[in-house]
Amino acid sequence: MLIIDELKTSLIGPINLVLEDGSCTAISGPSGAGKSLFLRALADLDESSGTITLNGRDRERFSAPDWRRKVAYVPAESGWWSERVADHFQPTPELVKQLAAVGLEEASGWEVSRLSTGERQRLALVRALQIDPEILLLDEPTSALDPPSVAKVELLLKERVAAGRTILLVTHDPEQSIRLKADCVHMEGGRLLKRDLHEEAS
């Protein structure tokens, strides 16, 4: 369980939120609301104050690399540091299955320069899944994808949640939140508000 207590940076907060094991939480909100900054602060990529505990252990007690393996952030635009796609992955037995799950079974033989935006987005997700973080922070993970690819990614996310892992994602699509059975929060002006899509629909 991740407990976020009075998280603040110079631009957002204070933010309080609890993420239960095996839960999916969707953040919506207008452009500039601070959604990406919130995920970055959680992953300890930007300086922040407040208390964050993972399974009862304070973030201060983890080294930064260890924390980022447990609370992994996938930005909307991923970074690539080598020419070959394969160089970005651990050659594990699961890799072939994971690539196939996002429709990219051939991609490990490709050059990064040929990747489309949607291919980059799906491969960045597989990269994060290889780390197997306890909390996966996804910034608009399907924004560049066509509906069949969205369905593949959502299936992966649902399987992950069913296996007890935790997902916090930014999405502008209320239908996606419903499909993922996500708890919904809304961000505005750097603050989080609870949102009940099911109540709004009734």
Binding site for ligand ATP (CB under 6 A): 11, 29, 31-37
Least spacing, CB of residue 32 vs ligand ATP, in Å: 4
Q: Among residues 130 and 143, whose Cβ is nearest to ligand ATP?
A: 143
Based on CB atoms, which residue is closest to ligand ATP, 3 or 45? 45
In Å, how far are 28, 86, 116 from 168, measured between CA atoms?
11, 27, 25
In the complex, what is the shortest distance from the CB of residue 55 to ligand ATP, in angstroms, rounded to a whole number?
Answer: 27
In the bound complex, what is the minimum distance in angstroms from residue 173's beta carbon to ligand ATP?
12
Cβ atoms within 10 Å of 189's Cβ, excluding its own: 11
Please give the sequence-ordered ranges of beta strands (E in DSSP) within 88-165, or none if there are none. 135-139
Residue position matching structure tokens 């929060």: 185
Closer Cβ to ligand ATP, 17 or 112, answer by number: 17
Name the residue nearer to ligand ATP (CB basis): 34 or 108.
34
Structure letter (DSSP) for residue 86: G
- The two structure tokens encoding residue 2: 């991740």
Between CA 50 and CA 9 the distance in angstroms is 9
CB of 132 to ligand ATP, least distance (A): 25
